[in-house]
Each structure stands twice: as C-alpha cells, then as structure tokens.
Structure 1
Amino acid sequence: MPSDTPPGNLIVFAAFKCIAQGSTADVLAQLRERRDDTPYLVFSEQTGELLDFDVHNRAGAVAHAASAETPEETPRGVGRPRLGVVAREVTLLPRHWDWLNRQPGGASVALRRLVQEASRVNADRDAVRASREAAYRFMTAIAGALPGFEEATRALFADERERFDELVAAWPEDIKAHLQRLSAAAWSAA
C-alpha cells in the first residue's frame, strides 16, 4: 500500500548489482555520476517497494510506482485536521454500533482504544508480516526469473528459513544480501 511520503533510504540495483544506496539526495547524486547505460531499479530500502525515480529531479525525485495508477484523493472537510485526526467511513452492523455507543466516551474513543490495543498485542506478528511482504516485493521485482524463485517464495511464507537460505544461496551476492536484510524479521521464533 503506497503512501504519499517518500521512503527514508533507497537502494538501487543494475544487472543484479547494488550501484547506489542511501538517502534520496545521496542516491540522486550517485545516479547522476553514472556513466553506464545499464537500466536500474530503485527500491525503498525498508519496504522493498519498487519506486519511480526521476534522476533529473523534475517531480520531486521519488514517486511510488503505484501512485500513477491510483487517483489522488481530495481532502475531506471532516475530522480534526489540526490534531491529525482524519474522518473515514466505517461500516458495522447495528449491534456493533449499539455496543460502541454504550462505551465510555462513545464510538470514536472505543474504536481508538480497540485499535491501539490490537496494534500493541499484534506488534510482533505485524513485524513478521511486514518483513515477509517487503522481501516478497523486492524478490518479485528483481529476482522473478532467478532459479528457485517460486520455491523461495513458498519457503518465505511457510517460515522455512533454512530452505529459503538454500534456495537463494546461488543468487547474485547483492540481491541475496539485501533480501536477507529485508527478511530478517520474517522468521518466527520457534
């Protein structure tokens, strides 16, 4: 799910080799110095998301690849924007609304409390999922034609670290190293 904020650090690959890494400004400078015409791919270092990158910095340097496909949402006038509160629509059954409205502080306070508690309780599971998704996004964009790709993907989501490591062992060093960084949190503690 793309966001409107550019990633903190970027990593760039050309022909399976890491050619640039760092902040947007650092990567931009490194790419401008290139004398090689090899096509390259720019990724968010943290999320594995493939990004559009404007070396000439005409459009603010970084745009999410999927943002061109999704229309811009117009800001809504409800909520409390100064406090960072954005109103969204939630669809619930009448019995759910009744229960929420009976809670101290009303529906909004109860929903915020429920979301906060769920995010705290599920933090470890969410970190594992985010790590797997980042590794998968990166793998799909750059390693889809490499031998063992499909099996490595299965091993990633099946929590089979040893099998995953065996399958990616023959892959190019830079790809393997970044994939190991992205997937580090993906492996559940048994």
Structure 2
Amino acid sequence: MSDFLSKSCTAFADTEQFAAGLLIDVALAIKAAEGDRPDVSILVFDDASGSVVDLDLRGTTAEIVVRLTERERREATTAKTQTASGTDAEPRGRGRPKLGVVAREVTLLPRQWEWLSAQAGGASQVLRRLVDDARRSDGGQTQAKAAREAAYRFLNALAGDFPGFEDAIRSLFAGEEQDFAERMIAWPPDVRRHALKLATGSYRPIAHQGAEPRVR
C-alpha cells in the first residue's frame, strides 16, 4: 500500500463523521454510499495535516482505484525528483544498509560549511545529531504547533461560520485546551470530537481494514 493511498483520513457528511480509515477505504466507502444522501456535501480530511483531500470519485470503482493509483504514482515521482535534487556528502560503504537516509539540498554560509567540515564523522552525521538534539530539547513544541495547525485547517474548512469560531481559534493557538473545548461545546459533537483529537495530536493512523461509513 502506497503512502498516499494509506494515509489516515476522516470523511464528514456536512457536520457528521461519515467514515474513517485509510484514504483508499474512505474513498470507496463514499462511492459505495453514493445515492443514499445525494444532497449532502462530503469532505475528506487528512488526519495528519487537517487539510481537505480532493478526490475524483466519478466512474466505476475500478476507475477510481486506477485514478488514485496514478495520482499516487505522480506524487511519488515528484517526491523522488525532489529527493534527487539534494546530495548526501557521506558515501555508503559496501554492505552498509540505507537505513532510510534521504538526501536533500542544504544551503549554509561558508563559515558554517567550514565548521561542519572540521567535525568528526562528516557533515551528514553532524547535521543528523544536531537535528536529533533539537528534537529532544524541543519539549514537544513543534508537534504541538503542528497539531494546532491541523485542527485549524479542519475547522476552517468545516466550521468557519459556526458561532464563536474566532474565539475558539484564539484559544486553540494560545494553547488553552480547556477553553478551546468549552468554546465548541454547542457545536455538532462529531466536529468537536475530531477537532479535539487533531488539536491534541491524539489521532491514530488506522490499519487497512475497510472504512465503515456511518450513513444516517
């Protein structure tokens, strides 16, 4: 299963959660329920970023699968091209496993390259250590910021005209979790529940088992 097709997503029919699971499963669940609620707008959200995922669900199930597979292939090609544009100054010796190392371009000032060159282990190893040290000392702030931004993207797409939206967003970015939850108390429960999951980073990627739609 590709990264694109296996990303964890949640679909909303208006303000009700319709389906949740891998992107391919959610897409097919929407297609299978086509006609049950023809007047309802369904939006699919990426659980990692909170962004809307545009899906073309025209045609047969087989045509949809082919279309999504082709889209994944294009995205993979783009990502591979971007990766190839960088260089890893540290060559791999014979028998050394790749270990998921990704080469990308890094731009530094001459004095910074000089400092890196003087360090033991080479520039790549030093940069990896610096990144890991920064992540450890970050205290989870970067992850918390990403979670709040995901919640904002979701709410901006689905709840932008809800009463108290702006106050809720201010509480969200201020890190006031309790106040954020209370300002959404009168909102549809599925919207409130999903926003809280995104804001706290508590969503969990779902294994491939089929997305069960909740058609009402």
Q: Same fold (TM over 0.5)?
A: yes
Instruction: Tell me, in whole angstroms, the C-alpha distance in 1 between the residues paired with 2:115 and 2:103.
Output: 20
Using the size of structure 2 for normalisation, the TM-score is: 0.70
User: Which amino acid counterpart does residue 17 of structure 2 have in structure 1?
Assistant: C
In structure 1, which of residues 28, 40, 43 is the aligned counterpart of residue 42 of structure 2? 40
* Equivalent residue, structure 1, for 2:109: 93
> 1:95–1:5: structure 2 CA closer, same or farther, 3 Å change rule?
same
Name the Cα RMSD after superposition. 3.0
Instruction: Tell me, in whole angstroms, the C-alpha distance in 2 between the residues paired with 1:108 and 1:27.
Output: 40
* Equivalent residue, structure 2, for 1:57: 65
* Equivalent residue, structure 1, for 2:206: none
Sequence identity percentage: 39
Of structures 1 and 2, the one with the larger relative CO (CA 8 A, separation 6+) is: 2
* Equivalent residue, structure 2, for 1:24: 23
CA drift at 1:123: 5.3
Instruction: Tell me, in whole angstroms, the C-alpha distance in 2 between the residues paired with 1:148 and 1:19.
Output: 24
In structure 1, which of residues 95, 120, 129 is the aligned counterpart of residue 145 of structure 2? 129
> 1:93–1:118: structure 2 CA closer, same or farther, 3 Å change rule?
same
- How many residues end up aligned between the 2 structures? 179
> 1:92–1:140: structure 2 CA closer, same or farther, 3 Å change rule?
same
Contiguous gaps of at least 5 residues in structure 1: none
Using the size of structure 1 for normalisation, the TM-score is: 0.79
- Answer yes or no: is the 8 Å Cα contact 1:135–1:179 preserved in 2: yes
Instruction: Tell me, in whole angstroms, the C-alpha distance in 1 between the residues paired with 2:156 and 2:5.
Output: 21
* Equivalent residue, structure 1, for 2:157: 141
Bigger strand share: 1
> 1:6–1:49: structure 2 CA closer, same or farther, 3 Å change rule?
farther
- Answer yes or no: is the 8 Å Cα contact 1:6–1:63 preserved in 2: no
The list of structure 1 runs, each at least 4 consecutive aligned residues, that deviate by more than 6 angstroms after superposition, is 61-64
In structure 2, which of residues 200, 203, 209 is the aligned counterpart of residue 184 of structure 1? 200
1:66-121: per-residue Cα shift (whole Å, max 9, x none)? x99xx946352754798243332222222211211111022222111111211222
> 1:88–1:185: structure 2 CA closer, same or farther, 3 Å change rule?
closer
